Each structure stands twice: as structure tokens, then as C-alpha cells.
Structure 1
Amino acid sequence: MNITHLTVRYGAFTAVDDVSLDIPPGGAVGLVGESGSGKSTLARALVGLAPVSAGTITGVPAGHTQMVFQDPYHSLDPRLTVGASVAEGIRLPRGERAAEVTRLLDLVTLDSAVASRYPRELSGGQRQRVAIARALGARPELLIADEITSALDVSVQGAILNLIRDLRARLGLAVLFISHNLAVVRYVADVIAVMHAGRLVEVGPTDEVINHPREDYTRTLMAAVPSIGDRLTAPPPDGP
């Protein structure tokens, strides 16, 4: 996907300001920034849920981008079974959907028996896996993951991150992974894009941004994550 000079305005307020970013086929871009920086608005614009005031989005046909939201409980209809929720996004004849639901649940490492259960009967991690399976039902070229681990227990977050990495490798998916946590993004992304006040302030390969940040704002984000901030500011060791 090629995002060129994209702007999103709500009245006089500019939520996304002249953003240009490339997400290559099969690539993983991590979009980071504090709350209110415009990350989620940009994501919503890419799937048609926020108005584009200027700029262009090219490279991925309409309908071939799917988004997984932060809170898996609110993104799933509580009146539908898991199977029915996953089937909503499947573009196959009705007679083939049950088998496809089973395949999608297997992709996200859930037993097919989960299809008959309701979201309220599942854990947060299981619900997020269902939301990912539903998004995959549309056979997307680009998956947008918007803070998908922030509402989960720490013990579950790693498993979901590993799942995203595995799905990308198995399916050749491009991924836009959005988070306020650089440590999380670092684990899944080839490229990191840093967003502040609606603008991209730094973009580069993950290791380069982590080890040699150019912007003070990036350093501030890194300092908020001890495992990264300590490495950035620690004095060099004595001796050779």
C-alpha cells in the first residue's frame, strides 16, 4: 500500500496531516505514537472509516484491507456465535463456509469446537484470535492491527504477537501494526514509523530507529519502555 500526502480533517481540527508511508507487499510496518497522535485515525482512513480530506491511498484494491481493533469484546457481536462472526467475512458460497470457518480457526490456533460458543464464553486472548480469524476470512492483502494487545493480560500478549508473526510468514500478509509501545512494535515490524500530532516525524528500519533515533520525540517514546530506554541511555562498558 502506498499512502501519499494523506490528510484527515474534522472541521478545523487536523487529525492526520500530510502523511506519506509505504507498506510493501508482505512487509510489516510498526506505527507508534502516544494516545491522540493520529495513529488510529490513519488506520481508519485506510479502511474507509474516516474521511480523507486530501491525498491518495493506492496499491491495495478496495476491500483487500482488513482491520483488527483494540478491544476484541466490543468488536464481536455478542448475539452471534464465534462461527457466525467468522463467517461474516467469508467470500465463499454458503455451503463452503463451515469448512472455511474451521480452517480460519485453525489458523489462529483455536479448536473448531469454539465455533459454537459465544464471545462472552471466551477469554480475552481467545476473542482477539476470533477477531483476527474473522478479518482473515476476507483474504486480505493488508492486515491492520490497531493496539490489539493493549487490552490483553501481559501473559497473553506474547502469544498474540507470535501469532501475527506466524500469519505473516504463512500467508504472505502485509501488516500495519499500531501501538504506543515500541518494545511490542520492535518484535513484529521491519520498519518503524513514529507519529506525533498527526504527522510522521521519523521512519526507518526497526534497528536503525531503535538504536539511532533521530528525533527527540522518538527518544521520549523509547525512554517510556525500560528495556529499550535503558539500552539507549546506558553508559558504554569500560575497556575494550
Structure 2
Amino acid sequence: MNITDVTVRFGSFTAVDDVSLKVAKGEVTGLVGESGSGKSSLARAAAGLTPYRGTISGVARGQVQMVFQDPYSSLNPRMSIGAAITEGIRVPRAQRPTELARLLELVALPASYTDKYPRELSGGQRQRVAIARALAARPQVLIADEITSALDVSVQGAVLNLMRDLRTELGLTMLFISHNLAVVRYVCDTVAVMRHGHLVESGPVDEVITAPRHPYTRALLDAVPRLGRA
């Protein structure tokens, strides 16, 4: 997916200002920055959820799926887990039960969860359902927007490990958004750093972390004890 000269405005406020970014096929690109940096606005533009100026190419229409920060608000509380996931499945009706079982297995949830409702699940389990629902459409690009920040610390690692496993198993192309460079380093191949709607630095994740060029990147590193200080 190629994001070229993309600008996102909300009235007179410019959330994203002329940003270009490549999300290489089969790789995980991290997008990092503090709250208000514009990273989520850029992600929503890439997913077709927010109007923008510029060009987003290299991906078919409707082939970008997004997993949001709050797994509870992104799921319909009146729909069972099975119904929520099946809603996004794009295979013939007769094949949907088999596909639903495959998706639940991918995100390490038992088949018995198909009849449960979001209120019956933990935050980590609900986020796994949201990931399965996004994967149901077999997207060319998966966007993960701060998918662990609303979860208890005890389950954040399990969800990050799941994303790493899914990337390996499915060869996923991902845009992974976080404010935490430690998380980005664990999950991503490359990273782009945003500040005040601008892209200030990008490159291979280990290169950016071990030898940051921009003062803002260094400030983000300073917020994560011992990261990049081998």
C-alpha cells in the first residue's frame, strides 16, 4: 500500500499534513507518535473511513480492514461472536461454518465461543474476536490501531504474540499503530514516526531505534526505559 501526499483536515484543523508512507507487502510497518500526532487519522484515511486529499494506491478497494483500540465498542453487543465474525466472511454460505471455525482457531479461541456475546468475554478475548472479524474479509492490508492500549497489561503480551504468529502464518501486510516504541520494535519491520501531522522519521525499526535522527524520536525513546540502550 502506497500512501502519497495524503492530507486529512477536520474543518480548519489539519490532522495529517502531506504524508507519504509505503507499507510493503508481507511486512509490518509501525506508525508511532504521541496522542494527537495524526497517526490514527492517517490510518482511518488508509482504511477509507475518513476523507482525505492525496493518493492511496497498491490495494484494491475494500481490501483494507481495521482493528480498533477498544474491542468492546467495535463489537455489536446484541450479536453473538459467531454472528459478528460471520458477517465479514466472503465465501459461499455453505462454507461459512468451516471458515468461522478456521478464524476462531487462528485467534486461539475455542469453537464454543460462537454462541457467546461480547459481555461474556474478557477484553483480550474481545480483541481476538475483532481481529478474527477483520481477517474474515481476507484483507490485503490489516491496520491495527493501538490494539493493546485498552487492555490489561497482563494480556497485552498475549495479543502482541498473536499478531506476530498471524503475520508468520498468513504472511500478513500490516500497518501497526502505537505510541510505544517498545511494542513497535517487537512487532514491526519498519517504523515511521509522526508528530503534529507530519512524518518526521522512518526506516528499519532497529535502525531508527538504535540511531534516531530526529529529536522527537529520541524523546519517544527516552520515555521507554532502556529501549535501544544495549
TM-score (norm 2): 0.98
Work out the number of aligned pairs and report it: 230
Query: For residue 195 of structure 2, what is the amino acid of its counterpart?
Result: H
Name the counterpart of 1:206.
Answer: 205
Instruction: Report the RMSD for the aligned CA atoms in angstroms.
Output: 1.0
Query: For residue 138 of structure 2, what is the amino acid of its counterpart?
Result: R
Q: How far, CA to CA, are the matches of 2:150 and 2:226 in structure 1?
A: 21
Name the counterpart of 1:58.
Answer: 57
Shift of 1:95: 2.1
For residues 132-143 of structure 1, what are the structure 2 equivalents within 5 Å?
A: 132-143=131-142
For residues 152-167 of structure 1, what are the structure 2 equivalents within 5 Å?
A: 152-167=151-166
Which secondary structure state, in structure 1, belongs to the residue aligned with residue 99 of structure 2?
helix
Q: How far, CA to CA, are the matches of 2:199 and 2:130 in structure 1?
A: 28
Quick check: 1:2 aligned with 2:31?
no
Cα displacement string for residues 194-231 of structure 1 (whole angstroms, at most 9, x for unaligned residues):
000001000011111100000110011111111317x2
Query: For residue 116 of structure 2, what is the amino acid of its counterpart?
Result: R
Query: For residue 154 of structure 1, what is the amino acid of its counterpart?
Result: V
Q: How far, CA to CA, are the matches of 2:115 and 2:201 in structure 1?
A: 45
TM-score (norm 1): 0.94
Name the counterpart of 1:235.
Answer: none
Structure 1 runs of 4+ aligned residues shifted over 2 Å read none
Q: How far, CA to CA, are the matches of 1:219 and 1:90 in structure 2?
A: 43
Name the counterpart of 1:103.
Answer: 102
Shift of 1:93: 2.0
Name the counterpart of 2:31.
Answer: 31
Shift of 1:98: 1.5
For residues 179-218 of structure 1, what are the structure 2 equivalents within 5 Å?
A: 179-218=178-217
Which secondary structure state, in structure 2, belongs to the residue aligned with residue 25 of structure 1?
coil
Query: For residue 51 of structure 1, what is the amino acid of its counterpart?
Result: P
Residue range with higher mean Cα deviation, 9-18 or 134-143: 9-18
Query: For residue 100 of structure 1, what is the amino acid of its counterpart?
Result: E
> Where does structure 2 lack aligned partners over 5 or more consecutive residues?
none
Which structure has the larger Rg over C-alpha atoms? 1
Name the counterpart of 2:172.
Answer: 173
Query: For residue 114 of structure 1, what is the amino acid of its counterpart?
Result: Y
Cα displacement string for residues 54-108 of structure 1 (whole angstroms, at most 9, x for unaligned residues):
2100001011110000000000000000000001110122222121111100000
Q: How far, CA to CA, are the matches of 1:10 and 1:172 in structure 2?
A: 35
Name the counterpart of 2:120.
Answer: 121
Quick check: 1:15 aligned with 2:15?
yes
Residue range with higher mean Cα deviation, 126-135 or 6-15: 6-15
Cα displacement string for residues 13-55 of structure 1 (whole angstroms, at most 9, x for unaligned residues):
1110010000011011010000000011001001111111x21
Which secondary structure state, in structure 2, belongs to the residue aligned with residue 160 of structure 1?
helix
Which secondary structure state, in structure 2, belongs to the residue aligned with residue 48 of structure 1?
coil
Which secondary structure state, in structure 2, belongs to the residue aligned with residue 95 of structure 1?
helix
Query: For residue 19 of structure 2, what is the amino acid of its counterpart?
Result: V
Name the counterpart of 2:69.
Answer: 70
Identity of aligned residues (%): 68
Which secondary structure state, in structure 1, belongs to the residue aligned with residue 76 of structure 2?
coil
Name the counterpart of 1:147.
Answer: 146
Which secondary structure state, in structure 2, belongs to the residue aligned with residue 128 of structure 1?
helix
